[in-house]
Amino acid sequence: MAHSTSQSLVQTTQTQNPALWVSAPDECDIRAGKTLYRLELGVLAKISVFFGNLNRQAVQQEGEIVVISEFNEPEFEYYAYVAYSLPIKAGFKDLDKYVLVRALQLSKFLISPLLRDTALNHIRARRYEFSLAEIFKICRDLPTRQFVEYAFRRLLELQPRWSLLPADDIQTVGFPVMVAAVQVRDGIETHRRLVAGEPPILTHAPTCTDTTRCTDDWVQIWWNIIGRYLLEAREDVSWDQAVEKLLQCDFGAMDRLCLQSALDIVKGGDPMLAESRFISNATEQVMKLFGEAETWEI
């Protein structure tokens, strides 16, 4: 809990951080861990409802210190760097990933959406340093839609290894979320089988001298290229990648105008958008399981 206390009650073992020690008309003394900071209340209040609600006159009285008692120096300094728009790398040579997690928790305490979003962006940039369980713990603590969708997609990518997930990880993810993932994966695989097995119907040009062979070549090429690519893929694939593979192949005896007509159909739509809708709809359900995301306004 954060509170204000007189100088006499603060432990004498505290140290000052000269890098975050500012003299200003609205200066405010703050202690996190065993370190004392002097920062501008106005700057802190711009990105934090907590600091915005502090009684400015009370905390600026001589000897008064705002104590952030539940958090330590690294996460508070991370917040200060965000508040002052300072480059994070300048203050953190080796930023521990768990500092980012604690910064997220601090953002909830201080009601600071900018701190939350900055920490989430850094976590996304280093996402593969976090286990699946750690990612879902973050989602449960702060269920922002973008991050929940990332976590859900990551769970789907692990589908070939679901049986190898530790029991503790499955428990952290949650049985309802696992059920949603199974349903989405089944839907995606069914959709891919339909796309792979149903090549666009050819409209033969007047120049086509052998419509039967032209159709047979088109169907064979579709199954060998698009069908194999979609059905053998072990992760999410894009339609553009599938089309690129199709364009690289030999189209046999197909008439040039018939082929152009077929490729125009292929390039004109993206069947994979349906998969994104599956995931998006499932993300909404997972968000409800985790609880509504908090709306913070400054």
| pLDDT: which is higher, 298 or 17 | 17
Contact assessment for residue 242 and residue 226, using Cβ atoms and an 8 Å cutoff: yes
Least confident of 61-65, 153-157, 267-271: 61-65
Quick check: 122 pLDDT over 50?
yes
Query: Tell me: the pLDDT tens digits for 95-120?
Result: 889 999 999 999 999 999 999 999 99
63 torsion bin: left (phi>0), alpha (psi -120 to 50), beta (else): left
Confidence grade of residue 2 (pLDDT, cut at 50, 70, 90):
low
Instruction: Please give the helix or strand (H or E) that residue 180 lies within, else none.
Output: helix 175-197
Show the beta-strand stretches assigned E in 25-176: 27-32, 35-40, 64-68
- Tokens (6 digits) for 295: 């709306």
Query: Tell me: the pLDDT tens digits for 203-231?
Result: 899 999 999 999 999 999 998 888 888 88
Query: Tell me: the pLDDT tens digits for 6-59?
Result: 333 334 457 888 889 998 888 889 999 999 999 999 999 999 999 998 877 777
Q: How, if at all, do strands 64-68 and 27-32 pair?
A: parallel
Count of residues making up the chain = 298
Give the global pTM: 0.69
CA atoms of 52 and 31, how far apart (whole Å)? 17
Contact assessment for residue 135 and residue 154, using Cβ atoms and an 8 Å cutoff: yes
Contacts within 8 Å (CB) and 24+ apart, 190-196: 191/271, 191/274, 191/275, 191/278, 192/230, 192/231, 192/233, 192/275, 193/231, 195/226, 195/230, 195/271, 196/223, 196/226, 196/227, 196/228, 196/230, 196/231
Q: Supply the pLDDT for residue 54.
A: 86
CA atoms of 82 and 86, how far apart (whole Å)? 6
Q: Supply the pLDDT for residue 231.
A: 81
